[in-house]
Amino acid sequence: MRLTVGQALVRFLIAQYSERDGARQRFFAGCWGIFGHGNVAGLGEALLEASGELRYYQGRNEQAMVHAAVGYARMSGRLQAFACTSSIGPGATNMVTGAALATVNRIPVLLLPGDVFATRAASPLLQELEDPRTLDVSVNDCLRPVSRYFDRIWRPEQLPAALLQAMRVLTDPAETGAVTIALPQDTAAEAHDWPEELFAERVWRIPRPRPEPQALTEAVAAIRRSRRPLLVAGGGVHYSGASAALRTLAEQTGIPVAETQAGKGALPYDHPAALGAIGATGTTAANATARQADLIIGAGTRWSDFTSASNSLFPPGADCINVNVAGFDAAKRSGHSVMADARAAFEDLAAALQGWEVDPGYRRRVRERAVAWDAAVERAYHLGHGPLPAQSEVIGAVNDASGPRDVVVCAAGSMPGDLHKLWRTRDAKGYHVEYGYSCMGYEIAGGLGVKLAAPDREVYVMVGDGSYLMLSSELVTATAEGIKLIVVLVQNHGFQSIGGLSRSVGVQGFGTSYRYRDPESGQLDGEFLPVDLAANAASLGASVLRAGSVAELTAALATARAADRTTVIHVETDPSVPSPGSEAWWDVPVAEVSALDTAREARAGYEVSKRSQHPPLRPAPRVD
């Protein structure tokens, strides 16, 4: 069959399917794209020709396209994904941040940037990076370190092998992330005779590897000899669809469950075994239990510094079981490594632990801690602070307005930490906070992808003014596609999360507020800027409501829920009101020497906290 490289690639994408547990779905839901001279004739022509079979979505920013693709793939349990195409040059490099986010979070997305001429017939090209050391480099090489697989198609004959490798990575639970296939613009438009089998329907089966018998035996023995075990549920629990199996294991054994940012919602917030968030942004219930645990069972977590409170949370002598489909993550902490799918591991553990459970007194203490924390959440939801509401009250109003299956989306600032502690998750897919890369600007674009994947759910995007100003462009896309989001835009007049961190390390909030420059001091410490973000959102096509109090926010949320189009609710908060503390630490180094009294005082406190830090878990002495 004679087709261009672009046409062949698109036909291949249409024929790819994923399958897990007998359920099959088309793998590629569509292709996001912004066209330029580097991709308009190759992929642009091919997508137009195949528009009835592979839907094209028009992005407004290349980074945002990738964020939307990530939101969709995560909401789809990594069983479906999007492709994203850009031109060579700024369009391609704009995707680097999105690629890093996808790879950090282990989310599949296919990037198809245009590239320079393979023939070099017209070099140097518009937007070509000329490297005097070699002519074999383009700006797309920036995508190499943030991609799980990278290839450049200099000749048509290279395409089939590259596509198969791309699908191998995209559908591999342990290896997935961003995949980049760079397409030189002359090659993309070049015709070639392709074998028919390249376009035959192909099914990629997502495996559920079960624990190796000896590893399972050792893990079961470690659990049976423990007295205060704690299970930490990470994102892998969601990606393997393991919530029901986790619930069975927790109810059978009484092992309490704490959750990372990616794992939040693994159990409903009010389940008897649920302790909620763990780590630097965790609940006091989870963190107190972690400090006294003699066995930590990590399931599907990559053990970020927020989860471990910078390696200060878990007792140095506690044993550890690491359940992960990826060997890289399973080997991060000493103890027992169990390379397996989370659901398969929970099922095998439950079967092997029949008749064993924790002491009733331990169950009771865990539950008392969880109930006490929920009371703290209730107080934070209804502080009655004024005249401006506290951020915790805004979260409470949104949580109260949302339905059990609705989804909250966030990514950066102080909001993710507060949501991790305070959001009452009722559905396994009801919490979508991107905290692997914590990318400012993910929120609206990611929410767009979530809504595409789950059109029957209300999607609440919670975004601060700093993140909104970084990347609000996909409000236009939501309007163009008729996609409804409820965006709660919190006006803080700056980067208040970093402002608080800045003050905690003695840097006095320097450079974190949106203010005029004071002509006398020369610093940005004048009056607040009169930026009207609500008016900006309206100019991008959204309906806009303004709320000046919790009561007005509650009314606005009801109006937005009843609407059939994207609505932005603008609410100003008092950033000085803290949420309940986690009683955990996060290691952010403080200047060792400074002329500032505030920095010297912060350094003294830092050195005290640093003493609680210890290397990753060491196994407890074996007792048979």
Please name the residues in contact with 264: beta carbons below 8 A apart, sequence gap of 6 or more.
Answer: 276, 277, 420, 423, 425, 431, 433
pLDDT, one tens digit per residue, over 406-423 is 999 999 989 999 999 999
Radius of gyration, CA atoms only, the chain: 25
- Residues 168 and 103: beta-carbon distance below 8 Å: no
Taking 50 as the threshold, does the pLDDT of residue 1 lie above it? yes
Angle among Cα 391, 434, 105 to the nearest 5 degrees reads 160
Cα(47)–Cα(67) distance, integer angstroms: 21
Residues forming beta bridges with residue 180, ordered by sequence position: 111, 150
Is residue 3 within a helix (H) or strand (E), and if so which, with residue range?
A: strand 2-4
- Residues 527 and 501: beta-carbon distance below 8 Å: no
The SS3 assignment for 68 reads helix
pLDDT, one tens digit per residue, over 578-592 is 899 999 999 999 999
CA torsion 326-329-331-332 (nearest 10°) is: 180
pLDDT, one tens digit per residue, over 379-415 is 999 999 889 999 999 999 999 999 999 999 999 989 9
pLDDT, one tens digit per residue, over 500-559 is 888 889 988 888 889 999 998 888 988 999 999 999 999 999 999 999 999 999 999 999
- Output the CA torsion sign for 466, 451, 78, 247: positive
If phi > 0 it is left, if psi is from -120 to 50 it is alpha, else beta; for residue 303 that is left
Query: For the whole model, what pTM was predicted?
Result: 0.96
Q: Is the preceding omega at residue 124 within 30 degrees of 0, hence cis?
A: yes
- Largest distance between two CA atoms of the chain: 77
Give mean pLDDT, residues 491-495.
Answer: 87
Taking 50 as the threshold, does the pLDDT of residue 620 lie above it? no
Q: What is the DSSP string of 513-536?
A: B-BPPPTTT-SS-SSBP---HHHH
- Domains in the chain: ranges and CATH: 2-205 (3.40.50.970), 213-372 (3.40.50.1220), 382-493+529-572 (3.40.50.970)
Taking 80 as the threshold, does the pLDDT of residue 621 lie above it? no
